[in-house]
A and B are shown apart, each in its own frame.
Chain A
Amino acid sequence: MNAIDVKDIVKTFGDFTAVKRITFAVDEGEIFGLLGPNGAGKSTLIRMMTTLLPPTSGTAIVNGFDVVKQADGVRRSIGVIPQAMTSDLELSVEENLLIFAKLYGVPREKRGRLIAGLLEAVELSQWAKKQVKNLSGGMRRRVEIARGLVHEPRVFFLDEPTTGLDPVSRVGVWEMLQRIKQQRDLTVLLTTHYMDEADKLCDRVAIVDHGELKALDSPMKLKTSIPGRNVIEVSFSVPPPDWRAALERLPDVESVTGEENLFRIASANGPATTMALMEAAAHANIPVHSLSIQSTTLDDVFVHYTGRALRDALQDAPASDFSFMRNR
């Protein structure tokens, strides 16, 4: 049985369609990532899977429970960390966990042991009595991760768990999630707009843009599914008008994108293409302004499947996903 089974799910807010007939399944025990810019529909998807929003059409089965018809069954078996920091700042770390243990109906005799174990897992045991308002952003996120697991859920949803954290805290959260997942029988679904997060943390990644599922596979397979094993990014001072065609004729080149004096060349053999590129430039007497060779990243995958760079999409999109508010 899949931990999550989403079929043809659609969500519209008035005449705006936030999620357009998306279908995917998440295996038990995997870390599954929804990658896309803000406004892509990731949060709307996660809200439908966690019973916070009713789908307009289609179905979502979580842990064998239908999110509409058996919402209570879904709620009992999932842990959810919303995008916003939602811990009670005035309460202590331990109290935050205790209140949620009670809300989930965790038996009194289990509460103490569970909370102590979780605080140890997120390395906050020594901060247990501190008010959350005295903790850093990364520590607050760890409190929320512990809070979401206080009733031992089987599926854990995290909506952009590292947004707003510094790079060190982000890596800390990744390591923590991987460790917790190994220790428990847990399926994790997270949304992110960080490619490195999806790449390093997720077993499989679904690329979502404008409410559509553009690609779904493991990060490695996604990277090998697109042309070129290397991407050469090169800029020239004053390239001639037919220079792009010349670049396309270089050995092992699979595609050339770019405009004016900056080009991105996808190559099956980065070093060979680079050597030929330098020779061609010297021969044509065109100075090379800058050059870098990279392995294919998920950003390249995103460009391939959506036609735009994720960083551009992030700039275009609103700062936060308020799509859920449009139905008010």
Chain B
Amino acid sequence: MHRTWAIVERELRRFRRSPMLIVMSMIFPVVQLVVLGYAFGGNVKHLKVGVVDQDHGVPAVKVRELAAAASSGARTIDPIEYTDPGQALTDLRNGRINGVLTIPPEFSRRVLERNQPRVALIEDNTDNFVSVALAGTLTAMLGAYSQPAARRVPDQATLDVVEVYPYVPYVQYLLPGSICMSIFMMVMIGGGIIFIDDKARGLHEGYLVTPITKFELIAGFNLSGTIKAVLSGLVLMTVGSLIAGIPSPFDPLRLVRLFVVIVATAFALISLMFLLMVRVTDPLMPRAMFGVLNTLLYFPSGAVYPQQGFPGWMQAIAAVDPFTYAVHAFKNLLLKNTGFEAIGADLGYLLIFSVVSMTAATMLFRRTL
């Protein structure tokens, strides 16, 4: 094993003298965490809604008052009064407003007659997030309008929601994926790209003429790559926890568990990378694969969106994606502060994945040029 340690020593000495590599592998995940975290995390506000009152009766005035109240409360909508429905629709089509709330002429009469009074929302549905928020707000508003003023005994079943954990902002939801991403970045830049560049420069010829065995060589590269990726993951875990505001980020027990998951993730990803690169000689290849791998590993993992919403083929990718298990474990530890019992299956999968990938890489590795 002393030859394996010689490879590790060489790689780490080089790593220590490449501060740019360290910075580059950290910048992307941190920027992604901050920008995506705050871009997706906030509630949609100040949607412009044109209100066309063609009724002018007391009930119609009440609807308009409720719209104004929603505007001054949650500020989801900003109502704009229109007298000409044609003008409101033109503004909607030109993107000046997000929706038109039309109170039809018979609205007051139907309210008084209890004859299915209706108001219409015509909305710009090209932005799904906006249209869902708009419809949700106005449905809630009309729900409040239809509610009788006082009722001693409710005659409808209601749902009381109890939240087990404190509110999780989106930036915290993204953090597990960002830690995986920082590990992946270091695996690709500090592992894959350097490995192939060294091969192309002829550095590996120097190794192959020594008595080192295939296993010692692969183990040396894997071990050094894992150490580098673990350092990257630890830095992002610390910085990311502070940025995202994870409660009590330095709880020692949780730090130990996080360290174990980071090591398992780094080992799995470096093993995967060597399996993919073991026969590659073209330095452009790891760079070309970078984007594809990034997309294939990160997005199906549930790091940005729940996997339950994926189509079947994507769920199949997610099932074998090591990111899935790493993200699941990090979510448990960071957002729920669970123990090992909640992440045992994740660690088991990552370990099996690593052993299988590394064995396959060693078998495919050629001891000659």
Contact = CB atoms under 8 A, between A and B. Distances in A.
Given A52-B369, A90-B17, A99-B10, A82 B211 contact: no
Most B CB within 10 A of own CB, among A51, A99, A103, A105: A103
Interface in B1-31: 2-3, 5-7, 9-10, 13-14, 17-18
Interface string B187-230: 00000000000000111011111111000000000000000000
B212 A103 contact: yes
Given A75-B209, A91-B10, A103-B210, A84 B201 contact: yes
Contact of B17 (A75, A78, A131): A131
Interface string A29-55: 000000000000000000100111110
B368 A102 contact: no
A245 interface: no
B210 A75 contact: yes
Contact of A76 (B2, B14, B211): B211
Interface in A52-103: 52-54, 72, 75-76, 78, 80, 82-86, 88, 90-91, 95, 99-100, 102-103
Given A86-B206, A90-B14, A103-B6, A75 B201 contact: no
A168 interface: no
Contacts of B294: none
A88 B203 contact: yes
Contacts of B281: 325, 328
B368 A51 contact: yes
Contact of A86 (B6, B10, B205, B212): B205
A90 B13 contact: yes
B211 A75 contact: yes
A interface residue count range (under 10 / 10 to 19 / 20 to 34 / 35 or more): 20 to 34
A105 B18 CA distance: 27
Nearest to A151: B210
A76 B205 CA distance: 15
Contacts of B206: 80, 82, 86, 100, 147
The SS class assigned to the B binding surface is helix
A105 B211 contact: yes
Contacts of A86: 201-203, 205-206
Contacts of B211: 72, 75-76, 103-105
Among A47, A80, A82, A131, chain B packs the most CB atoms within 10 A around the CB of A82
Interface string A114-153: 0000000000000000010000000000000001000000
A324 interface: yes
Interface string B241-260: 00000000000000000000
Given A53-B368, A100-B210, A90 B18 contact: yes
Contact of A88 (B10, B205, B208): B10
Interface in A250-277: none
B14 A102 contact: no
Nearest to A157: B209
A85 B6 CA distance: 20
Q: For B10, B14, B17, which residue has the most chain A Cβ atoms within 10 angstroms?
A: B10
A262 to B, nearest CB: 40
Contacts of B205: 52, 80, 82, 84, 86
A247 B14 CA distance: 65
A319 to B, nearest CB: 15
> Which of B2, B14, B201, B206: most chain A CB closer than 10 A?
B206
Contacts of A83: 202
A147 B10 CA distance: 14
A174 B262 CA distance: 52
Nearest to A72: B211
Contacts of A147: 206
Contact of A82 (B7, B13, B17, B202): B202
A95 B10 CA distance: 8
Contacts of B14: 88, 90-91
Contacts of B18: 90
A104 B210 contact: yes
Given A72-B211, A91-B14, A99-B10, A47 B369 contact: yes
Nearest to B9: A99
Nearest to B205: A82
Given A102-B5, A102-B6, A53 B202 contact: no
Interface string A207-244: 00000000000000000000000000000000000000
Contact of A103 (B17, B201, B207): B207
Contacts of B9: 99, 102
Given A50-B209, A52-B205, A95 B13 contact: yes
Nearest to A89: B14
Closest CB pairs A-B (n = 8): A84-B202, A102-B6, A80-B209, A82-B205, A103-B210, A90-B17, A99-B10, A90-B14
6 contacts: A52-B205, A52-B368, A75-B211, A86-B201, A103-B212, A325-B281
Given A54-B368, A90-B14, 5 more contacts: A86-B206, A91-B17, A102-B2, A102-B3, A325-B281
